[in-house]
């Protein structure tokens, strides 16, 4: 937690502003985008999950109980018990305070799990002198602002849908072609309440998502021969592709899945002979 | 001075363009510092590092990871990059990748649209 906070403090003002706003539009060469966003991704890796904080609190409570039992057993003086409890109280409050603080600086895992790997892979394809336009929404995929609808398909089952349009990008490639893509994840959070054989009520939840990738490529007719469906103009042709990929969980989308859709466009063009 | 023999790019290949500062101990090709793998002590090029067994590239990051990903992607997604450079067609190192090259690249270079030329530069 402290590491995450220190990493946040080490960021520059622009990076801190990106974390604060979470919805940003950036226009600059791809190398500069990587330089700007990578430290944010590195910091995000250090932000603890709710589980880590829960475990820490559990350990502190267990230590408090254990210390009191131990103190009783050795007949420790009262002041020692009070000091021990005070230390443990601080250790209990500290992770909660840090969790609240670091939750504010937590950004969507899509940044370090999908976007940064994609930029690293595509960095040499984009014209280094041209600015790449990147629109990002780094709020958590299941933030309440992204709530789409709630359904009750059957009794004791709730399905909550979220729409996460977390990235769109556009840029000029080294050969002068133009590439743009946008990604919208539709997340389904399903909660089912069941009665077990022992008569206890248990609630289980499961997440899945559909990753919608739309990509568009504009190439010069003199340089490329286009096969398949395309909008062909006098000098340029535009190819489009839309794919929906079903994925389990709400983890960051595998960059390979997105790049496969983009590569589909390039499979439909051949260098002109 | 030799030029770096690496091909940069993912969707399309082009010459690195940097002067070579050393050579790869595996393939022997001249390489610039940018295209030597840090995880091998800068003795192997990124392409050879990417072809190591057990997907060792996945434990790296940055450019080295990207070249490993590229090699893996071409094999699994059956993608053949577009070769923008003339040299890539002649370099047998990239035979594995089935690069789709411009056969008549020079012809196309001569046919650049007038409007795409830099302003102020006309035919002599």
pLDDT of residue A35: 96
Q: CB–CB of A256 and B116 under 8 A?
A: no
How many beta-carbon pairs below 8 A join chains A and B? 72
| Mean pLDDT of the region B42-54 | 91
Query: What local confidence, expressed as pLDDT, does residue B78 receive?
Result: 87
Tokens 């930029």 -> residue: A119
Query: Which of A122, A269, A273 is facing B10, going by the closest CB pair?
Result: A122
CA gap B58, B50 in Å, rounded: 9
Indicate the residue of B10, B83, B103 with minimum beta-carbon distance to A124. Answer: B10
Closest CA to A122 of A181, A165, A185, A166: A181
Cβ separation B79–A125 shorter than 8 A: no
Query: Residue A144's pLDDT is what?
Result: 92
**Mean pLDDT across the stretch B108-114?**
45
Radius of gyration of chain A (CA): 25
CA atoms of B22 and B85, how far apart (whole Å): 22
Provide the pLDDT for residue A43.
Answer: 92
The tokens describing B90, both together, are 């002649």
> Domain residue spans in chain B?
7-113
- Residue that has been written with the tokens 């190439």 in this structure: A219
pLDDT in tens, A2-33: 788 889 999 999 999 999 999 999 999 999 99
User: How high is the pLDDT of residue A49?
Assistant: 64
User: What is the structure's pLDDT at A159?
Assistant: 95
Query: The whole model's pTM is what?
Result: 0.82
Band of pLDDT at residue B47, cut at 50, 70 and 90:
very high
* CA–CA min distance A34, chain B (Å): 10
Residue B103 pLDDT class (50, 70, 90 cuts):
low
Q: What ipTM was assigned to the predicted interfaces of this complex?
A: 0.80
- Whether the CB-CB separation of A117 and A83 falls below 8 Å is answered with no
Output the pLDDT for position B119.
45
- Minimal Cβ distance to B9: which of A124, A267, A273: A124
CB neighbourhood size of A15 (10 A): 17
C-alpha span between A222 and A235 (Å, rounded): 7
* pLDDT for residue A94: 75
- Whether pLDDT at B86 is above 80: no
Residues in chain A within 8 Å Cβ distance of B65: 117, 120
Q: Give the percent of chain A with pLDDT over 70.
A: 97
Q: With helix as H, strand as E and coil as C, how does chain A read?
A: CHHHHHHHHCCCHHHHHHHHHCEEEEEECHHHHHHHHHHHHHHHHHCCCHHHHHHHHHHHHHHHHHHHHHHHHHCCCHHHHHHHHHHHHHHHHHHHHHHHHHHHHCCCCHHHHHHHHHHHHHCCCECCCCCEEEEEECCCCCCHHHEEEEEEEECCEEEEEEEEEEEEEEEEECCCCEEEEEEEEEEEEEEEEEECCCCCEEEEEEEEEEEEEEEEEEEECCCEEECCCCEECCCEEEEEEEEEEEEECCCCCCHHHHHHHHHHHHHCEEECC
The pLDDT score that the predictor gives to residue A39 is: 95
Asked if the model's pLDDT at residue B65 lies above 50, the reply is: yes
* pLDDT score of A77 more than 90: no
Beta-carbon separation of A263 and B101 below 8 A: no
Q: For A102-147, how does the pLDDT look when each residue is reduced to its tens digit (9 = 90+)?
A: 778 899 999 999 999 999 999 999 999 999 999 999 999 999 999 9
A151 touches chain B (CB under 8 A): no
Whether B57 and B69 have beta carbons less than 8 Å apart is answered as yes
For residue range A175-213, what is the model confidence (pLDDT) as tens digits?
999 999 999 999 999 999 998 888 899 999 999 999 999
Find the closest chain B residue to A125 by CA distance: B9
Interchain CB distance below 8 Å, B11 and A123: no
Scanning the structure block, which residue is given the tokens 């450079």? B85
Distance CA A229, CA A33 (A): 33
Three-class SS of residue B23? strand
Q: How far apart are CA A88 and CA A57, in angstroms?
A: 10
Q: What is the mean pLDDT of chain A?
A: 90
Chain A residues with CB-CB distance to B14 below 8 A: 124, 174
Selection from A37, A5, A12, A204 nearest residue A108 by Cα: A37
Q: How far is B32 from chain A (nearest CA, A)?
A: 15
Q: Which of B11, B12, B68 to mutate to test the interface with A (most CBs of A within 10 A)?
A: B11
pLDDT exceeds 50 at position B105: no
Kindly list the residues from chain A whose CB atom is less than 8 angstroms away from the CB atom of residue B103.
Answer: 271, 273
Q: What SS3 string covers A38-54?
A: HHHHHHHHHCCCHHHHH
pLDDT tens sequence across A204-259: 999 999 999 999 999 999 999 998 888 998 899 999 999 999 999 889 999 999 99
B11·A125 Cβ contact <8 A: yes
- For B65, which of A120, A223, A235 is closest by C-beta distance? A120
Q: Which tokens sit at A149? A: 């609808």
* C-beta atoms of A117 and B10 within 8 A: no
The answer to whether the Cβ–Cβ distance between B73 and A175 falls below 8 Å is no
> Of the candidates A147, A150, A189, which has an alpha carbon nearest to the alpha carbon of residue A164?
A147
* Higher pLDDT among residues A50 and A182, named by residue: A182
Least CB–CB distance from A121: residue in B10, B77, B84:
B10
Q: Binning pLDDT at 50, 70 and 90, where does residue A149 land?
A: very high
Q: What is the mean pLDDT of residues B30-38?
A: 95
């Amino acid at each position: 937690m402290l590491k995450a906070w220190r990493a946040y403090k080490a960021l520059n003002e622009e990076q801190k502003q990106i974390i604060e706003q979470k919805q940003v539009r950036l226009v600059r060469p791809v190398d500069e985008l990587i330089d700007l966003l990578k430290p944010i991704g590195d910091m995000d890796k250090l932000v603890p999950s709710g589980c880590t904080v829960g475990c820490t609190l559990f350990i502190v409570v267990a230590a408090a109980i254990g210390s009191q039992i131990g103190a009783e057993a050795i007949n420790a003086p009262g002041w020692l018990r009070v000091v021990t409890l005070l230390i443990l109280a601080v250790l209990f409050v500290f992770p909660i305070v840090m969790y609240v603080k670091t939750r504010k600086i937590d950004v969507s895992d899509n940044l370090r799990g999908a976007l940064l790997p994609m930029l690293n892979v595509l960095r040499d394809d984009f014209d280094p002198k041209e600015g790449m336009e990147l629109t990002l929404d780094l709020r958590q995929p299941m933030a309440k602002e992204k709530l789409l609808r709630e359904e009750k398909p059957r009794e004791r089952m709730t399905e909550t849908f979220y729409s996460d349009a977390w990235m769109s990008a556009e840029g000029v490639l080294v050969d002068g072609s133009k590439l743009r893509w946008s990604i919208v994840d539709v997340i389904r959070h399903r909660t089912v309440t069941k009665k077990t054989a022992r008569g206890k009520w248990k609630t289980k939840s499961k997440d899945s998502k559909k990753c919608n990738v739309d990509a568009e490529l504009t190439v010069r007719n003199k340089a490329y021969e286009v096969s398949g469906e395309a909008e062909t103009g006098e000098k340029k042709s535009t190819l489009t592709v839309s794919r929906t990929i079903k994925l389990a969980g709400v983890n960051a989308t595998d960059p390979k899945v997105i790049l496969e859709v983009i590569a589909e466009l390039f499979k439909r063009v051949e260098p002109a002979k | 001075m030799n030029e770096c023999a690496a091909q940069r790019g993912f969707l399309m290949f082009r010459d690195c363009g940097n002067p070579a500062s050393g050579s790869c101990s595996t393939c022997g090709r001249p390489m610039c510092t940018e295209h030597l793998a840090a995880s091998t002590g800068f003795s192997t090029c990124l392409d050879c590092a990417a072809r190591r067994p057990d997907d060792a590239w996945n434990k790296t990051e940055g450019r080295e990871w990207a070249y490993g990903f590229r090699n893996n992607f071409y094999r699994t997604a059956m993608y053949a990059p577009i070769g923008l450079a003339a040299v890539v067609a002649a370099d047998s190192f990239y035979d594995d990748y089935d690069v789709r090259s411009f056969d008549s690249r020079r012809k196309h270079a001569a046919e650049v649209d007038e409007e795409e030329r830099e302003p102020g530069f006309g035919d002599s």
